[in-house]
Structure 1
Amino acid sequence: MTAFDELISFQRETEALAQIAGRLGWDQETVMPRGAAEQRGEEMAAIEGVLHARRTDPRIGDWLAKAKAADAAGMRSLELIRRAYGRNAAVPAKLAAEIARVTSVAQGIWAEARARNDVAHFLPTLEKVVALMREKGQALAAAGFGAGDPYDALLDDYEPEATAAMIAAMFDRMRPRLVALREAILGAANPPKPLSGHFAEARQLGLARDLATAFGYDWERGRLDLAVHPFSSGSGNDARITTRVVEGDPFNCFYSTIHEVGHATYELGIDPAHFFTPLGQGVSMGVHESQSRIYENQLGRSRAFTGWLHGQMHAIFGDLSVATAEEFYRTVNRVQSGFIRTEADEVHYNLHIMMRFDLERALFGGPLEVADLEDAWNTRFAKDFGIAVDKPANGMLQDVHWSVGLFGYFPTYALGNVYAGCLHKALRADLPDLDAHLARGDARPATDWLREKVQRFGGLYPPGEVIERAAGFAPGEGPLLDYLEAKFRAIYGL
């Protein structure tokens, strides 16, 4: 075997072990008994120790020095392995294992605190998580990642081409148009009616499965379960999704499901030749979010698709409080200031992300401490959304991300929206008859287009290049903002 062959063989085993670690995480959030949390923390720390040892094995450096790739995929694999090797080597093994242990336990403590609306129950654990992630960010920055900035070094884990300054500049360009659109909408006469009624869990989950099928989800390689915070997990031939059910709000379940199908379909759509290699997963969280957000919003909330969904809901639940398909379309796209990011309409969603991004930057590079985070959150939320947070589960305890150490992750949601805007513009140009399919509950032509243009490549190209190749132009926020203004001005008669 050549040095390249030996390196890729070693990498395949490491990737397989990482998939096992991911499966432990899925189990923890879906079916693991609550009493097993401490034990699971030790298990996660142990497997992270094994993974860290493999990812920092000195032989990788030797192989990289000698390896020669035969094609573009091989060259890209070497590039990604070299980058990952440098990042992993910069983080001490003891720190990596401690992060795995603490965040595994923290996840359960967060869930308890959220259920009890008790921030004090969570703060000591969150302080440990933040301290560990600050230490990790500093270690990576000292090794030259993130141009020496700890927060940028963490952001680099999720969006390799991005910096906090770049994200902040994009948000500065987006915010005025989003705020102006929101103010015009909230001042409009005759807003859409909300959906009311009782929607039984079993029936919601049955329709959620139909929605996943409509978008081409492969049930032979996936499954649907319930979780406190919806997520997808896995890649290759095992990509699972979760959702949650609120019996008075079926849209929570339905659009969470569609969103997670976007993530899972991306992983399932990657060229099998890339499985268990550095190319065998989504290239960045921004590109990943572009898939989930275009499925959820531009496709799932379109007039054509909601017309079909209205018919399905009527057949399953009986008469609805919103009688016509057109009224239902307006209801699905109803704009209102709300507490929960995952339930936010398309106009408000990025404002949620901007707030979290600013709080994260203040935690890592500014004066904000964990003890003051709830007050900072509530003050900023009232300023940005015009309503006071009524309980912690609707405030700083609503998201799982900080409990598991995902600092730098939130801005990729907004970047994913921007990428989705670019992809949607190109997709509509290429598929002029798409609405006819969506009106029949068939989103597979869009999934096929995305698989061909984005998903199959996995990590073969850098994030910006993936989007530019698919869309035919360099990514920017313009298409997203144009889409939002056109859609919601029409819905609200502005």
Structure 2
Amino acid sequence: MTTYDKLMAHARETAALGQIAGRLGWDQETMMPCGAARQRGAEMAAIEAVLHARRSDPQVGDWLETAEAIDEQGQAQLREIRRAYERATKVPADLAKRIAQVTSEAQGKWAAARAAEDVAAFLPVLQEVVALKREEGAALADGGDLYDAMLRDYEPGTTAAQIADIFDAMRPRLVDLRAAALDRPVPAGVSGTFDEAAQMRLSQELATTFGYDLSRGRVDKAVHPFSSGSGDDVRITTRTSATDPFNCFYSTIHEVGHAAYEQGIDATYALTPLGQGVSMGVHESQSRIYENQIGRSRAFTGWLFGRMRDVFGDFGINDADAFYAAVNRVDNGYIRTEADEVQYNLHIMLRFDLERALMAGDLLVTDLEAAWNDRFLADFGYAVDTPSNGCLQDVHWSVGLFGYFPTYALGNVYAGCLYQALRKAVPDLETQLAKGVTSGATGWLRDTVQQHGGLLLPRDLIRRAGGIEPTETPLLDYLEEKFSALYGL
């Protein structure tokens, strides 16, 4: 074996162990008995210790000094192994183990606090998570900005200042479009109750309609929908509401976008550093373009309207045009995952600013609820009514995912660039979607984005697929075109 072969064999085994750790997380969210939380925390800590030891093994550093790659793929593999090695060697093993244990336990405490509407019950463990993540950030930053160091885990090559510039450019047009839409009558929504078992059956149909391979995945329910895994085992979750079937259906389509990315990666990259999505921003571009530009389009909603009538009968909407308006209604709301396309990024901007302040030490955990509520009132014009609609609504901070939130909005920006290119590449796109056929769109995304896995850096990948330098302009133009037509602006 060459040095490169030895390094890749080590990387594949490490990736396999990482998938096992991910499966423990999936089980915790879907099937684990609630009394097992403390033991699961110990299990997660144990496997994290093994993973950290493998990632920081001095032998990896020795191999990296002499390994040679003969092609673009090999060079990218070395790039990603080196990045992971440098990160792992900066974070002490005891700290990595402690973070894994505390965040595993914090996840259960967050879920209980959210159900009880009890912020005070969650704050002590969140304070511990924040302290541990700041310690980790300091180790990774080498004297630089802690938040920038955290961002590198999710969006390599991007800084908080760059994201802030994008958000500053987006905010005025989004605020103006929101104000104009909210000044018009809110379209009627669905009415009645919707059998939740029937929702799950149609949810599975939607998953396969968008290309999800159920022989290598499954659809389950969770408090917070998510996708996990890669290669031949990629699982998604959704949630149901007896009075809001769109929550289930569009959560499913969104998570299928993530899952399709992982299932679509070149099989030769399996269990290697390239065998997963290159960044969370690119990942989110897939889930958002599946959910919004495709799934909420006039053409596709016409097909979905017919399927919902088949399954549920009359649900208070008489025609496809009214259904399209209902799916895309702009209305006041608290929940990020339920927000319309116009307001979604404003929810992200709130979280981005708050978590930057937490990591900088400018905001205390004990003041988080008040800071959230004040910012929400200022941004949206009405007060948060319950903690589950406020600072307890998202799981991310409980599991230590600081630096993750801004990638959601960055994913929307990427999706705008990709959709502009997709419409040119598939000229009969709307005709296909009106028949419930998504393969033209999803096939183009698989060929231009998904199959490459981690081969290209995020901005390079979007530039190559979209044909332009990543910019917020296509997204904002798309939103203004769509919602101006919907609301007669």
TM-score (norm. length: structure 1): 0.98
User: Residue 336 of structure 1 aligns to which amino acid in structure 2?
Assistant: D
The answer for the alignment partner of 1:39 in structure 2 is 39
Q: What's the offset of the Cα at 1:70? A: 1.0
Mapped to 1, the partners of 2:165 and 2:387 lie a distance apart of 30
Gaps of 5+ in 2: none
Q: Give the CA RMSD over aligned residues.
A: 0.7
- Given candidates 380, 388, 391, the residue that maps to 2:386 is 391
Does the CA-based 8 Å contact 1:337-1:386 persist in structure 2?
no
The answer for the alignment partner of 2:470 in structure 1 is 475
Mapped to 2, the partners of 1:475 and 1:167 lie a distance apart of 12
- Deviations along 1:384-440, whole A, 9 cap, x unmatched? 011110000000000000000000000000000000000000001110111111111
The answer for the alignment partner of 2:88 in structure 1 is 88
Asked if 1:465 is matched to 2:483, the reply is no
The answer for the alignment partner of 2:176 in structure 1 is 180
The answer for the alignment partner of 1:119 in structure 2 is 119
- Deviations along 1:26-69, whole A, 9 cap, x unmatched? 00000011010000000000000000000000000100011000
State the secondary structure of the residue aligned to 2:237: strand
State the secondary structure of the residue aligned to 2:435: coil
User: Residue 393 of structure 2 aligns to which amino acid in structure 1?
Assistant: Q
The answer for the alignment partner of 1:218 in structure 2 is 213
Displaced runs of 4 or more, over 3 A = none
The answer for the alignment partner of 1:162 in structure 2 is 158
State the secondary structure of the residue aligned to 1:242: strand
The answer for the alignment partner of 1:408 in structure 2 is 403
Mapped to 1, the partners of 2:359 and 2:64 lie a distance apart of 33
Q: What's the offset of the Cα at 1:83? A: 1.0
Asked if 1:417 is matched to 2:397, the reply is no
State the secondary structure of the residue aligned to 2:455: coil
Asked if 1:356 is matched to 2:387, the reply is no
Mapped to 2, the partners of 1:411 and 1:197 lie a distance apart of 36
Mapped to 1, the partners of 2:332 and 2:78 lie a distance apart of 46
Mapped to 2, the partners of 1:279 and 1:83 lie a distance apart of 12
Does the CA-based 8 Å contact 1:191-1:492 persist in structure 2?
no
Mapped to 1, the partners of 2:152 and 2:82 lie a distance apart of 15
State the secondary structure of the residue aligned to 2:229: strand
Q: How does 1:377-388 map to 2 (within 5 A)?
A: 377-388=372-383
- Given candidates 143, 149, 156, the residue that maps to 1:153 is 149
Mapped to 2, the partners of 1:49 and 1:364 lie a distance apart of 25
TM-score (norm. length: structure 2): 0.99
The answer for the alignment partner of 1:320 in structure 2 is 315
- Deviations along 1:419-465, whole A, 9 cap, x unmatched? 00000000011101111111111112111100000000000000001
The answer for the alignment partner of 1:299 in structure 2 is 294
Q: What's the offset of the Cα at 1:173? A: 0.4
Gaps of 5+ in 1: none
User: Residue 73 of structure 1 aligns to which amino acid in structure 2?
Assistant: Q
Q: What's the offset of the Cα at 1:366? A: 4.6
State the secondary structure of the residue aligned to 1:399: coil
User: Residue 51 of structure 1 aligns to which amino acid in structure 2?
Assistant: L
State the secondary structure of the residue aligned to 1:228: coil
- Deviations along 1:166-198, whole A, 9 cap, x unmatched? 00010000000000001111112x431122210
- Deviations along 1:226-284, whole A, 9 cap, x unmatched? 00000000001110000001111001000000000000000000001111111000000
- Deviations along 1:151-177, whole A, 9 cap, x unmatched? 110011000011000000100000000
Q: Size of the alignment, in residue pairs?
A: 489
Mapped to 2, the partners of 1:321 and 1:117 lie a distance apart of 33
Q: How does 1:229-268 map to 2 (within 5 A)?
A: 229-268=224-263
Share of identical aligned residues, percent?
Answer: 67
Mapped to 1, the partners of 2:323 and 2:210 lie a distance apart of 20
